[in-house]
Amino acid sequence: MSNLEQSPAEIVCEGQAAPGAEILTGHTVALGGPRGMNVTRTLPSRRRRMIGPWCFVDAYGPEVAAMRVPPHPHTGLQTVSWLIEGEVLHRDSVGSLQVVRPGQLNLMTAGAGISHSEESRETVLHGAQLWVALPEAHRHQAPHFEHHADLPVFEGATVIMGSLGGVTSPAAAYSPLVAAELTVDGQVEVPVEESWEHGLLFFDDPGSLHYFGPGHRTLTVSGRGRVLLIGGEPFGEQLVMWWNFVGRSHEEIVAFRRAWMDGSGFGQVVGFDGAPLPAPGLPTTPLKPR
| Three-state SS annotation for 156-171 | CEEEEEEEECCEECCC
Q: How far apart are the first and last CA of the chain?
A: 32
Confidence at residue 5, expressed as pLDDT on a 0 to 100 scale = 33
196 to each of 136, 212, 228, 239, how far by Cα in Å?
Answer: 20, 9, 16, 19
In a domain, 25, yes or no: yes
Q: In sequence order, what are the beta bridge partners of 118?
A: 69, 90
Confidence at residue 31, expressed as pLDDT on a 0 to 100 scale = 77
Q: In sequence order, what are the beta bridge partners of 133?
A: 77
Euclidean distance between CA atoms 234 and 231, whole angstroms: 9
Euclidean distance between CA atoms 90 and 100, whole angstroms: 8
Domain count along the chain: 1
CB 266 within 8 A of CB 277: no
Q: What is the DSSP letter of 275?
A: P
CB 81 within 8 A of CB 90: yes
- Give me the chain's average pLDDT, please: 91
Q: What is the pTM of this model?
A: 0.93
In a domain, 271, yes or no: no
3-state secondary structure of 4: helix
What single letter denotes the amino acid at residue 130? L
CB 86 within 8 A of CB 123: yes
Confidence at residue 7, expressed as pLDDT on a 0 to 100 scale = 38
Contacts of 258 (CB under 8 A, 6+ apart): none
Is the per-residue pLDDT at 32 higher than 80? no
Model confidence pLDDT, tens digit, residues 190-215: 999 999 999 999 998 888 899 999 99
In a domain, 244, yes or no: no
Confidence at residue 271, expressed as pLDDT on a 0 to 100 scale = 97
3-state secondary structure of 181: strand
In a domain, 220, yes or no: yes
Measured on CA atoms in the order 90, 91, 93, 95, is the torsion positive or negative?
positive
In a domain, 255, yes or no: no
The strands making up 88-92's β-sheet, listed across from edge to edge, are 68-74, 114-119, 88-92, 97-100
Q: In sequence order, what are the beta bridge partners of 157?
A: 154
Look at 31-35, 145-149, 276-280 and tell me which has the smallest mean pLDDT: 31-35
- 257 versus 1: the higher-pLDDT residue is 257
Count of other CB atoms within 10 angstroms of residue 286: 12
In a domain, 243, yes or no: no
In percent, the amount of the chain with pLDDT more than 70 equals 91
Contacts of 191 (CB under 8 A, 6+ apart): 164, 165, 217, 218
Euclidean distance between CA atoms 216 and 31, whole angstroms: 34
In a domain, 147, yes or no: yes
Kindly report the CATH number assigned to the domain that includes residue 133.
2.60.120.10
Contacts of 213 (CB under 8 A, 6+ apart): 20, 22, 197
Euclidean distance between CA atoms 144 and 252, whole angstroms: 21
Domain region containing 31: 3-232
CB 211 within 8 A of CB 43: no
C-alpha angle with apex 144: 91 to 51, nearest 5 degrees? Answer: 95
Euclidean distance between CA atoms 56 and 217, whole angstroms: 24
In a domain, 34, yes or no: yes
Confidence at residue 18, expressed as pLDDT on a 0 to 100 scale = 52
